Every structure is written in C-alpha cells, then in structure tokens.
Amino acid sequence: MTSSMPSSQAGQGGSPGRPAVLVTRAIFPDVIERLSQYFDVDHNQSDEVLDAAALRARLAGKAGVLANAADRIDGTLVAGLPGLRAVCNMAVGYNNLDVPALTAAGIVATNTPDVLTETTADFGWALLMATARRVTESEHWLRAGHWQRWAYDMFLGVDVHGSTLGILGMGRIGQALARRAAGFGMTVLYHNRSQLPATTEQALGARYVSKAELLAQADHLVLVLPYSAESHHAIGAAELARMKPTATLVNLARGGVVDDAALAEALRARRIFAAGLDVFENEPDVHPALLEVPNVVLTPHIASASEKTRRAMANLAADNLIAALDAGPSAGHPPSVINPEVLPRRR
Ligand code: GLV
C-alpha cells in the first residue's frame, strides 16, 4: 500500500489504472489500507494543517478526495482541478462544499448521514443535562479547591424533567433527540422548514410551532438545523431576547447558526440561564467573550465522537469514494450522494 510512502510523494496522478486520491486529514489507518486496495492514496497521517494553497497543491492530479468538514471545497478550487471526480465528506453537514459548483462541474459529492444520528443525539442530551445542571461549572469549582462545605443553594440549576424541549431543525438528529425526551416526561415542540407528517409527529410526541413560539416556549432549545446562508445567525440578539430568562440553549449544528458574540453577551447579562456549545463560528478559535462567562459548557466539536461512530463515518466516506470512482462492490453507486442528479453526467 502507498500509505508507507511519504504522503507528499504519493499518488500524483496515480499509477496506470489506479486513480490517485487525497485524504485531507489523519484517519483510522485501516481506512487508508482499504482505500489503498483501489487507489494511490496521498494521506496526511501526520495531520498537518492544509491551508487553501496546500489543499489546492495536494489535490492536483487527484480523482477524488476524502475531506473533512473544515476543508473548503468551492468552485474556484475545482475549476483548477479538471481530474477531480468525487468529493466525499466525512461529516453529515456539508456547508464546506459548494454543492452547486460541484454539480455544475460533474463532480459527485457525498456525506455521512445516518451512521452518526444516535451518537450525536446522545451528545445533545449530554450537553443539555450538563448545561441545565451546571456540571462543568461546578466541577471546575471543585477542582479549584473551593469546596469547603455543602450549601442548600450551591449550583442551583434548572430542571429537565417535565419541562419543554424545543428543537430547531427536525431532521434525523432532531427526531432522535425528541425520541429521548419521552423518558423525561417533556413536552416537545419543534420548528423546521417543513412540518413532519402527522404520523411521525405522533410517534415522536412532537408538535410543530412557529419559530417565535418555539423561542418563547422552550425551556431547553436545541439547534440541529443545517448551516446555510438562510440559517446564518438564526439565533442572534433578537432571538435570545425572546427566550425565557430561565432557558438553556444547545448548539449541536454548526458555528454560524448562532451569533456567538450576541450569545456571550446574553449569557453575561443572564438574559438566558446557560448554553452548551459543541460548534463555534471560527473553529477552532472560540469567541473570547464565551471563554469569560461561567454559564456555558464548551466542547470541541465532538458530538459524533464515539469510537464506533467515527469508524462508521470514516468507512462510509471511504465506501462513497470507492464507489464514486467506479471501484469496489458498489461501483458507480455511492451509498450517500448529496447531488444524485450528477450521477448520469459525472466526469
Ligand atoms: C459534524 O459536525 C458533521 O457534520 O458530521
């Protein structure tokens, strides 16, 4: 396999009959092995940062790329890459890809839905619980040696059981969050671009409301909507002002869905009770004002990070890449295509 080669030498143009592909970030070594059965693999197991220029240089001569949600792949980039045929994200979100530009160029784009749904919903609940019950704030206080005696009003939080859960974006992950709410005896409200069929709503015990009502009614509001120009700053100062002062906010979606500066100010002024954030506007940089407020739980974009799920995501991204480049048992039929209309006229 080519993964033993220095990564910068591997796969420029591919050897005869073997397309060259790039894996932009370090990944499970056995996934590199799998890809190497079909392709000359230029990998990045040292996980060096590939800025836009380095990404462009490494993509020269490649037929496909296994990309990460932080790799920006847009029309300008692919215009200079006439051999690129497949862009396979190891993420369910794909706001890093300019899908219309890829489609126009005849490039297949894929993502990794389904395999991360339940793990991500579990983490949404972990963040919600930690936020409502001040788990990390109290732990930091304890570790700092401040605990001298028990007190009746130490770290009073807000209840989760019996409260109203609001879900903004009711796709697969939103629905998995809603299913878990039944055990807490919660009222579940949601807002989405389109209302779910009545049978699905009934099965989830969830009721569709306007965004304004969701903001006003939710005791715990969880964001799981895709990031796009329309959802940019879906939660900003005006929306935060409509929430209950006792409410919590959890962002599992993408940085940019929340105006982080406005949120930090709302937390500082106690306009809402607390927030739990797994995603940020300028990852890996976190808005400095968020680092200053105690009533926020901050995690480094790990909602899908269980061993089993990250393996499943990596393997699904590899399955997509193999099939999109007409290799393997599903040649020509990648399992999760974002732009299926491109298949009949792909490069
Ligand atoms: C993670 O953020 C994903 O989109 O899978």
Q: Which amino acid is at 27?
A: I
Q: How far is the CA of 335 from the centre of ligand 1 (A)?
A: 17
- Residue 223, Cα to own-chain centre: how many angstroms? 11
Instruction: For residues 166 and 247, state if they share a domain.
Output: yes
Rounded to whole angstroms, how far apart are CA atoms 13 and 5? 15
Q: Could you confirm whether 18 is annotated as catalytic?
A: no
Identify whether the C-beta of residue 27 lies closer than 8 Å to the C-beta of residue 68.
no
Q: Are 206 and 288 found together in one domain?
A: yes
β-strand partners of 20: 40
Q: Which of 39, 20, 18 is nearest to 83 (CA)?
A: 20
List, as one string, the DSSP characters of 217-235: H-SEEEE-PPPSTTTTTSB
**Distance in angstroms (rounded) separating the CA atoms of residues 322 and 317:** 9
Q: Does residue 200 belong to any structural domain of this protein?
A: yes
Residue with tokens 């050897």: 15
Whether residue 122 lies inside any domain: the answer is: no
Region 66-89: what's the mean pLDDT? 97
Say yes or no to pLDDT of 4 above 90: no
Number of domains making up the chain = 2
Asked whether the predicted pLDDT for residue 45 surpasses 80, the reply is: yes
Structure token pair of residue 312: 């499943």
pLDDT of amino acid 15: 81
Listed residue (243, 39, 90, 46) closest to 258, CA to CA: 243
336 within a domain of the structure (yes/no): yes
User: How far is the C-alpha of 286 from the C-alpha of 53, rounded, in Å?
Assistant: 24
E strand segments, 29-114: 40-42, 64-67, 86-89, 108-110
Residue 5 lies in a domain: no
- If asked whether residues 145 and 281 sit together in one domain, one would say yes
191 catalytic residue (yes or no): no
Active site residue 118: no
Calculate what percentage of the chain has a pLDDT beyond 90: 95
Alpha carbon distance 256, 130 (integer Å): 22
Whether residue 71 is contained in a domain is answered as yes
Ligand 1 atom showing the smallest separation from residue 279 Cα: 2
- Segment 82-86 shows an average pLDDT of 97
Nearest CA to ligand 1 atom 3: 91
Q: Is residue 125 part of a domain?
A: no
**Residue of 118, 213, 265, 283 with catalytic role:** 283
Whether residues 108 and 210 share a domain: the answer is: no
Q: In this structure, are 91 and 174 located in the same domain?
A: no
Cα–Cα distance measured from residue 268 to residue 294, given in angstroms and rounded to the nearest whole number: 8
133 sits in which H/E element:
none
Residue 144 lies inside a defined structural domain of this protein: yes
Q: Are residues 277 and 318 in the same domain?
A: no
Cα(69) to centroid(ligand 1), Å = 7
Phi and psi dihedrals of 109, rounded to 5? -120, 135
Amino acid 16: pLDDT? 76
pLDDT in tens, 247-278: 999 999 999 999 999 999 999 999 999 999 99
Confidence at residue 74, expressed as pLDDT on a 0 to 100 scale: 97
- Do residues 275 and 322 both lie within one domain? no
* Ligand 1 pocket, CB under 6 A: 69, 91-93, 116, 304
Residue 236 lies in a domain: yes
Report the nearest-CA residue for atom 5 of ligand 1. Answer: 91
Torsion sign (Cα): 231, 128, 117, 69: positive
Question: Of 5-19, 121-135, 169-183, 225-239, which range is least confident?
Answer: 5-19
Span 175-204, pLDDT tens digits: 999 999 999 999 999 999 999 999 999 999
CA–centroid distance, 253 to ligand 1, in Å, is 8
- Output the domain CATH number for residue 278: 3.40.50.720
Over range 301-329, report the average pLDDT: 98
Percentage of the chain beyond pLDDT 70 is 96
- Does one domain contain both 218 and 257? yes
pLDDT at 7 over 90: no
CA torsion sign for 196, 171, 334, 104 is positive
Give the pLDDT band (50/70/90) at residue 14: confident
**Ligand 1, from 90, 304, 309, 336: best to mutate by most atoms within 8 Å of Cβ?**
304
Answer yes or no: do 267 and 312 share one domain. Answer: no
Q: Are residues 75 and 184 in the same domain?
A: no
> Quick one: pLDDT at residue 9?
39
pLDDT at 146: 98
E strand map for 255-329 = 274-277, 296-298
pTM score of the predicted model: 0.94
The residue out of 273, 294, 315 marking a domain boundary is 294
Query: Which atom, in ligand 1's list, is nearest to the CA of 313?
Result: 5
Q: Is the pLDDT of residue 2 over 70?
A: no
CA distance 21 to 326: 13
Range of the domain at 224: 135-294
- Kindly name the residue from 58, 133, 191, 254 that is annotated as catalytic: 254
Mean pLDDT computed over 297-319: 98
